[in-house]
Chain A
Amino acid sequence: MADTTKREIDAVTGAPLHPHEWDGIRELEIPPPRWWVLTYLACVVFALGWWVFYPAWPFIGGYTKGLLGYSTRAELADTMAAVKAAQGPMNSRLASLDYAAIRGQPDLMAFAVAGGRALFGENCAQCHGAGAQGQVGFPNLLDDDWLWGGSYGTLQTTIEHGIRSTVDADTRQSAMPAFGKDGFLTRGQIADLAQYVLALSGRAGDVAAAGRGAPLFAEQCVACHGVGGTGNRALGAPNLADDIWFYGGDATAVTAQIWSPRHGVMPAWSGRLDALAIKKLTLYVHSLGGGE
């Protein structure tokens, strides 16, 4: 304290009083406890040491690196490298075996499915949904209905080359003609055809119209969708006789699809994911309940 005058002592507590007065209010002048001061000084020393050894001061173009050269990014990179190294043996086993052999090894299967789930969340869930449940125009991968097939081989091909990909020559291609837009059929014929398609799974509202649609179907549709509308996986032509509808299962949606079909696109993943990642994704999708 700077004052040289004799300190006033508070009568009640016996402690020295601060010389200043605030509107008649005085404060006691009690030094902080010794332990507190020592702890404070120890913290100062610790901080000085920190500045020397660890990254501390930011500059415009960088920062002080510290003698130990510590960096959280490097630590993360080390951790990731360690995880990768730890996964190495499993990954090489996975790469060397075919699907049937992998299924016979529960530990490998669990590893692959867990990896596939993570990859699915990063790459596939945006369209197919977090639980692979799909949405209108993006197929549900949980059910037992497949456009191109649900075996390991067909799943892997679909993931590798995509559907209607513009960058992959081997991509899966199919194009249903726009019967209405391009003038192949009249509006009335399309309405009849829609009723027939709905009748295939017992949903027709207008039986007479469905009857008129039957010859149209035989003429225009069976080449791809097959007699009875059971579909053709080689062409990616969906099964029209089951309970699962890609773009909607009511008269309006079916009519719209015949008039001007939507042609969904799936990217080809072979250039973006390595073969092992695609293998894991294949195993994961296959394990979701619809695998064949």
Chain B
Amino acid sequence: MTAMPRTAGSPAESEVPLWFARPAVVPKRVKGPFRRFKWAVMAVLLAVYWGVPWLRFDRGPFAPDQAVLIDLPGRKAYFLWFEIWPQEIYIVTGLLVAMAIGLFFVTALLGRVWCGYACPQTVWTDLFMTVERWLEGDRAQRLRLAKAPWTAAKLLRRAAKHGVWLIIAMATGGAWILYFNDAPTALPAVFTGAGGAGVYTAIAVLTATTYLLAGWARETVCTFMCPYARFQSAMFDRDTLVVSYRALHGEPRGKHKAGDGWTDRGGCIDCRQCVEVCPTGIDIRDGLQMTCISCGLCIDACNGIMDKIGRPHNLIGYDTERNLTLGALGQPRQWRFVRLRTVGYFLVFALAGLAVLWSLVARSPLEASVLADRTPLYVQLSNGDLRNGYILKLLNKSNQPQHITLSLDGLEGGRLTVLDHEAEAQPRLELAPDTVAALRLFVRLQRNDWHGAPLDYRIRVHDQARGLTATAPARFEGPRP
């Protein structure tokens, strides 16, 4: 990129480039409690991702039996007991708000644990790295392989790695479409070529992004692409748990030979294991930095080394800035989990979550709206009576057929008929499950009931079986003086 000439006096040294090439990060294998926790989270999340579309949930004969399904052609989304229509997308908005604030809450409390354990970028990168380690060996072997000349053996290893990556990527893209289709029928259709253009495009795009982001881009996504990494510091305060190097115990660092004493020096033997295992390739001893995803692998690495040399653990650990300072001053630790920030985030989170729950629970399965005819506004009949025509839209948002009756509310002398139900004094109609019905309504008024001013009234839709009533405002028009 050609740098634009800077105007005079701009502080050139403070400008950080948006991108700079860095040496590839080749993380080393590590063992320990945080690594085990990360394995467990990864296993659960991958099982959820690949397993959820296969869960069945009986909704009766009129709705799909997939527990989680976004039915795009049918414009419905199903989640266990809940079903939402496109006009209820605000519920999803509320859910996203709740989840975002929930993330803020967790971040204020525990730091970037989302980034370290649960973010799909982290989970899939970890999975791809595991495959890499399995096929190409650990850090030292991989570094050697990278420098080695291109022999048939190297080619084979690389090809095997990219092959497995691509298979995982395809499985990832392939599972995505199962959330939008009936999984047991969609999966065979994908293999027989009957998936449809949309399905194959989605699989291709998601295969490509998975392969590129988890195989090639990896930590650069967190460092250069992710907006959350850039603003997470706004949620941090002195009491947020972050992966910290306890310089008090570690410094001054230095190499340590067998037989050397531990006086006048810190516990850090500068073995660089914390750097070598880091999936983002940073040195945690430089302090809190934007690139750190708080995964805790450096803690495992350091504690492993301390075990070997028989020194106390936790030169690196999850700790707060306050405790680091207190530690340096020789004062006891203080844990302040209940703070204005955490309480505030939690309240907003709880509020948004309750609003979402309330919207789902209080959602009416029956809705009505009335569209009055405009050309003409009214029709005069041969005996002088007036008639207005309407389209009544009835939303049956339940997955069962329902029966409703129609009546007029607040129109003195008005007589209602429904097209094709003319004989019924109180029209009784069946609504198909999960559909919008459009009924043609005619309302008649005798000539002497019309006084020259439009009459506002309501059309009442009653569902006796469920005790539901929906009303829609309507207006009767006639000749004005």
Mark A residues whose CB is within 8 Å of B. 12-15, 28, 30-31, 33-35, 103, 106, 109-110, 129-131, 133, 140, 142-145, 239, 242-244, 287-289
Contact = CB atoms under 8 A, between A and B. Distances in A.
Given A131-B375, A289-B387, A30 B382 contact: no
Interface in B371-392: 373-376, 379-384, 387, 389
Contact of A103 (B374, B382, B420): B420
A284 B389 CA distance: 14
Given A109-B420, A133-B375, A142-B389, A243 B4 contact: no
B379 A34 contact: no
A42 to B, nearest CB: 17
Nearest to A129: B375
Interface of B: 1-2, 4-8, 373-376, 379-384, 387, 389, 419-420, 438, 440, 442
Contact of A287 (B8, B381, B382, B440): B440
Nearest to A288: B389
B376 A142 contact: yes
Majority SS at the chain B contact face = loop
B379 A243 contact: no
Given A131-B374, A243-B384, A142 B5 contact: no
Given A33-B1, A34-B2, A133 B440 contact: no
Given A142-B389, A287-B440, A243 B419 contact: no
A30 B381 contact: no
A130 B376 CA distance: 9
B382 A244 contact: yes
B382 A143 contact: yes
Contacts of B2: 31, 33-34
Nearest to B384: A243
Nearest to B440: A287
Contact of B5 (A15, A33, A103, A143): A15
B372 to A, nearest CB: 12
A106 B420 CA distance: 9
A109 B383 CA distance: 29
Contacts of B373: 131
B375 A244 contact: no
A131 B383 CA distance: 21
Contacts of B440: 287
Contacts of A244: 380-382
A23 to B, nearest CB: 24
Contacts of A110: 438
Contacts of B383: 242-243
B329 to A, nearest CB: 49
Nearest to B375: A131
Given A131-B375, A131-B376, A140-B379, A13 B389 contact: no
Contacts of B438: 110
Contact of B375 (A14, A130, A239): A130
A229 B375 CA distance: 30
Given A13-B6, A242-B382, A243-B382, A133 B420 contact: no
A153 B68 CA distance: 52
A242 B1 CA distance: 85
Contacts of A144: 381-382
A143 B376 contact: no
A13 B8 contact: yes
Contacts of B384: 243
A84 B420 CA distance: 28
Contact of A289 (B4, B8, B389, B420): B389
Contacts of B374: 131
Contacts of B420: 103, 106, 109
B379 A289 contact: yes
Nearest to B387: A289
